[in-house]
Amino acid sequence: MKHAKYSPSSSLRWTRCPSSLQYAPSEEETEASIEGTTAHMLNDLCWSKGINPLDCLGLHLNNRVVDEDMANGSDMWMQEVSRYVRMFPGCEVKTEQRLGEGEFFGTADMIIDALDSLIILDYKYGHTPVEAVNNTQLLCYATLWLLQNPDRDPQITLVIVQPRNGGVKSWSVTAQEVMEFYDTQVEPVILQQKSGYCSGAHCNFCPGMLQCPELHQLATAPEEFMTPQKAADVLSRAKVLKKYLDKVEEYAHQELELGREVPGFKLVDKRATRTWSAGEDEILKAARRAGVKKSEMFRKVMLTPAQAEPMLGPDLIRPLVKYESSGTTVVPINDKRSGLDLESIRREFQ
């Protein structure tokens, strides 16, 4: 299937970094993408045939076996869709709805059209958290729908169903707010009024990560002295930079395996670790010859609180544990934990 240049699924990246559009998306399927495709296929099968997802355990689908996680996730999807269908009797339900044309198009998992209300639902089976609020993919679907229905002005609800991270998340938005998103973030890129590189969390799946001049500049040693602002710039992109460095190492590894030179580097065997090559009986015989008891060759360790909690229960565990921090760590300002008041701590110790 042809990829849209301005794809809703990658809109978070290209609305922030228009220069990333020059890099073609990879056609290679990963285990995660195959798993996601299978989960979507199960949703479509159960909805179209009226099948209970929990009855599909063990079903072979897309060369994968439907396990409990996948069946439970599909059940969550079915329940959420059914809830909206009951809420709006007589509504029109469309699955795998193709929206848009030209270079700006996409396929929404499900659209529920209830005249004055429009519900756009998207299923995310992955573990990476996806929020509904200001979700550019769903806003693009809403934009494309409104462009195809210019005489409509519904209240729009954007819904993310993510069974393995957060469950159901939704956000309501007006048609006017959707078109403001299009006018300010999408159209300027399509009309090439907005350009340039801008790195950030949206770089995570960028096919041009290795060619990105901004990531390259951030990852290389700074020419000037480190400053708090430069530290903030680098730390705000820490996860992306780690992935960038991993990709650089992967590229160098492939080049060396192909017999090409990477100046200053070579391939070696990984550090070896020792494992028993003999069987347990032979090892215990050797221990006896050395005067070591069998019991001394085995070690029992008490379970950690986290390992024991499922068996003992949180109420029994709570008075038996203590919380000890190993130190401080740097996190983004929007982290839920309260920041330390270091000035008060200094005054107390003084």
Amino acid of residue 47: W
Name the pLDDT band for 174 (thresholds 50, 70, 90). Answer: very high
Q: Pick the more confident residue, 206 or 118.
A: 118
Residue-wise pLDDT for 90-125, tens only, equals 999 999 999 999 999 999 999 999 989 999 999 999
Residue-wise pLDDT for 219-250, tens only, equals 775 556 778 888 888 888 888 888 888 888 88
Name the pLDDT band for 345 (thresholds 50, 70, 90). Answer: low
Q: What is the pLDDT of residue 86?
A: 95
Q: What is the pLDDT of residue 51?
A: 95
Residue 120 Ramachandran class (φ > 0 left, ψ -120 to 50 alpha, else beta): beta
Q: Pick the more confident residue, 255 or 46.
A: 46
Span of 8-17, 182-191, 209-218, 340-349 with lowest mean pLDDT = 340-349
Residue-wise pLDDT for 316-330, tens only, equals 989 999 888 777 777
The CATH class that applies to domain 8-190 reads: alpha beta
Looking at the DSSP assignment, which residues form a beta bridge with residue 118?
A: 113, 156
Q: Pick the more confident residue, 17 or 24.
A: 17
Question: Cα–Cα distance between 297 and 318 in angstroms, integer?
Answer: 34
Q: Where are the domains of the chain?
A: 8-190, 201-257
* DSSP labels, 64-122: EE--HHHHHHHHHHHHHHHHHHHHSTT-EEEEEEEEEETTEEEEEEEEEEETTEEEEEE
> Cα–Cα distances in Å, from 11 out to 1, 132, 181?
18, 14, 12
Residue-wise pLDDT for 37-90, tens only, equals 999 999 999 999 999 999 999 999 999 999 999 999 999 999 999 999 999 999
Q: What is the pLDDT of residue 287?
A: 93
Q: What is the pLDDT of residue 4?
A: 87
> In this structure, is the dihedral angle defined by the CA atoms of residues 193, 197, 202 and 204, taken in order, positive or negative?
positive
Residue-wise pLDDT for 118-170, tens only, equals 999 999 999 989 999 999 999 999 999 999 999 999 999 999 999 999 999 99
| Tokens coding 103 | 């270079």
**Average confidence (pLDDT) over 178-196:** 93
Tokens 């060369």 locate to 63
Residue-wise pLDDT for 279-305, tens only, equals 999 999 999 999 999 989 998 888 889
